[in-house]
Structure 1
Amino acid sequence: MVNVISSANLALEKTLLSHPAKYPYTRTRVKCISVPGGRSDLPFSTIFTDIIPRRIIVGCVDQEAYDGNIAKSPFNFKPFGVTEVTIDAGGTVYPAQPFTSIFSANKYAKNFLMFYENLGAVGENRHLSIGYKKYKSGYTLHAFNPCATDSNSDFELIKAGTTQINMRFAEKTPASGIQVIIYAEYDGMYQIDHFRNIHSDQEV
């Protein structure tokens, strides 16, 4: 238990009468999209229609693994021959200059670099324990950072808009299909007023 001296407690209560205490946090959402077998693309599909995320991570798993086949891992994020992944957030496309990857020929350096950059692991002495070869073998995740700053600690202004995803594959998707899993992060804010009521921007 923490005891607050009376003068500090009175000052805090006085401040709460006019301004609620604010606590920023990161909230997350997950969206899944099924891609049937025999497809060579996933045309621009809407994934969110309200708030633009500050970070998006996309991965693909086998549909049977997603459905619960115990012989397959739902955490085995394979490339599935993807050649292009782009995000349209509020009318702005990421990456700004789309590029083509060829995983079968080990030509996916830009995907790998963008993964590290958009997770804030470049220039900050952070290591994600996913090397270049490992990235292709079960850790193929595509990261996007549709916000004004690359900092993980800065708080972003909430922006309304529609977010879409577009994917192209070098080969047809497996007959059983694949599941595209989209993980999104948002800046959130908790507020506590004088009566100790807790409010969140998720209530809006």
Structure 2
Amino acid sequence: MYSNEQKRSTLSISGYSPDSVIDNKDDSAFKTRSAWVKDGKKMQVAANISIDLTNQPRVLLNNCNMKLTAYPNSDEFLIDNYEDSGVKYKFEIEEVCCIVNEMDLADGLANEMETALMEHKLFQYPLISPQVRSFFIESSRLDSPATTLYTSKMPRRIFMGLVSGEAYNGHYNKSPFNFQPFDLRDVHIDYCGVTLPGRPMNLDFGNGKCVEPYLMLQEALGHTRNNTSCNSISFDQFKSKGFTIFGFELSPVPQDTNLFDLVRPTNLSIRLNFNKPTPSGGIYCIVYAEFDQIIGLDYQRNPIIDTVV
């Protein structure tokens, strides 16, 4: 969702370099990342903490206790290595620090906030909470029957991609972010008695018949309704170079974090059909969904999370 300018500037210090083709050892971005750590060189990086509470614009109250625990994936999942030398590379973290921005409020404003907190007993933070689900599709299948993923409330929008079974479980020679079409013909989202899209897509990625899902992805990201931002994913990349991600808007306000839609309990399911049997080893369907969420802090700074808003 970041622009190409951000990818080549601020995101570069997080260890990111924008690929033109995923899983290609000749791609310039892969060569750039390899040069950063070649021959065991150390690399210092900095990136935002991508969790719900830090992905919203409001500042936290003072004296809030937060504990962050990170669990890294396996080395096979984290490292791309296309040289087939048999060398088992390792990813090692030597030092971690957290940089926090602190605001020094005027005494009058700080006192007013404490008075309001004691009076109302609760400060609320509306935010967008993402949830990720995945399911496995066996090899030699031409379809995946309706798979129910969410059974509580309807998400704002969802994004879906397909990766090989080996890449999903970790493999030195395969990137877990290589989202391929796998000769997908149709994808349907069923929720609240509605099917999206309303008609079969009849996709044929090999012949370039996939404009509709590309446009739906850009619409879900909000890039088709303005001329000021773009995620720099070209149609050619979407079609065959590892960027085949499907986007669906389910809410009237999918991108506005200041507005909440009415809660609509529903069962959300996904149906997939393929032109050719799925490959050996099977594939995984990964679904990223965004939900309305509220986190509250009481006068003692205890967090209160309401999972149904």
TM over 0.5: yes
CA deviation profile, 1:90-138 (whole Å, cap 9, x unmatched): 2221123342211111010001100100111112321111101111121
- Distance 1:113-1:197 versus aligned 2 partners, 3 A rule: same
Determine whether 1:42 maps to 2:144: yes
Q: Percent identity?
A: 33
Question: 1:156 Cα deviation (Å)?
Answer: 2.7
**Quick one: which amino acid aligns to residue 143 of structure 1?**
G
- Distance 1:92-1:5 versus aligned 2 partners, 3 A rule: same
Task: Judge which range, 154-163 or 57-66, deviates more.
Answer: 154-163
- The alignment's C-alpha RMSD in Å is 1.9
**Quick one: which amino acid aligns to residue 38 of structure 1?**
S
State the partner residue of 2:116: 15
The 1-side partners of 2:276 and 2:213 are apart by: 18
Is the partner of 1:115 in helix, strand or coil?
Answer: helix
Task: Judge which range, 53-62 or 143-152, deviates more.
Answer: 143-152
State the partner residue of 1:99: 201
Determine whether 1:182 maps to 2:287: yes
Task: Judge which range, 190-199 or 12-21, deviates more.
Answer: 12-21
State the partner residue of 1:155: 260
The 2-side partners of 1:130 and 1:159 are apart by: 32
**2:221 touches 2:255 (CA, 8 Å); kept in 1?**
no
Higher share in strand: 1
**1:120 touches 1:152 (CA, 8 Å); kept in 2?**
no
Corresponding residue to 1:29 among 100, 111, 131: 131
The 1-side partners of 2:282 and 2:204 are apart by: 20
State the partner residue of 1:144: 248
State the partner residue of 1:68: 170
Q: Relative CO higher for 1 or 2, CA cutoff 8 Å, sep ≥ 6?
A: 1
**Quick one: which amino acid aligns to residue 159 of structure 1?**
R
**Quick one: which amino acid aligns to residue 28 of structure 1?**
P
CA deviation profile, 1:53-93 (whole Å, cap 9, x unmatched): 11111100111111222122211100000011111122221
**2:142 touches 2:274 (CA, 8 Å); kept in 1?**
yes
Is the partner of 1:135 in helix, strand or coil?
Answer: helix
Task: Judge which range, 118-127 or 16-25, deviates more.
Answer: 16-25
With structure 2 as the length reference, what TM-score do the two structures score?
0.61
Is the partner of 2:116 in helix, strand or coil?
Answer: helix
The 1-side partners of 2:138 and 2:204 are apart by: 21
**Quick one: which amino acid aligns to residue 169 of structure 1?**
F
Determine whether 1:118 maps to 2:220: yes
Q: Which protein has the larger Cα radius of gyration, Structure 1 or Structure 2?
A: 2
**Quick one: which amino acid aligns to residue 104 of structure 2?**
V
The 2-side partners of 1:98 and 1:182 are apart by: 20
The 1-side partners of 2:123 and 2:196 are apart by: 35
**Quick one: which amino acid aligns to residue 126 of structure 1?**
S
- The aligned length equals 203
Is the partner of 1:44 in helix, strand or coil?
Answer: strand
What are the ranges of 5 or more consecutive residues in structure 1 without an aligned counterpart? none
The 1-side partners of 2:232 and 2:195 are apart by: 29
Is the partner of 1:152 in helix, strand or coil?
Answer: coil
Is the partner of 2:270 in helix, strand or coil?
Answer: strand
**Quick one: which amino acid aligns to residue 147 of structure 2?**
S
**Quick one: which amino acid aligns to residue 203 of structure 2?**
S
- Distance 1:195-1:42 versus aligned 2 partners, 3 A rule: same
With structure 1 as the length reference, what TM-score do the two structures score?
0.90
The 2-side partners of 1:134 and 1:80 are apart by: 14
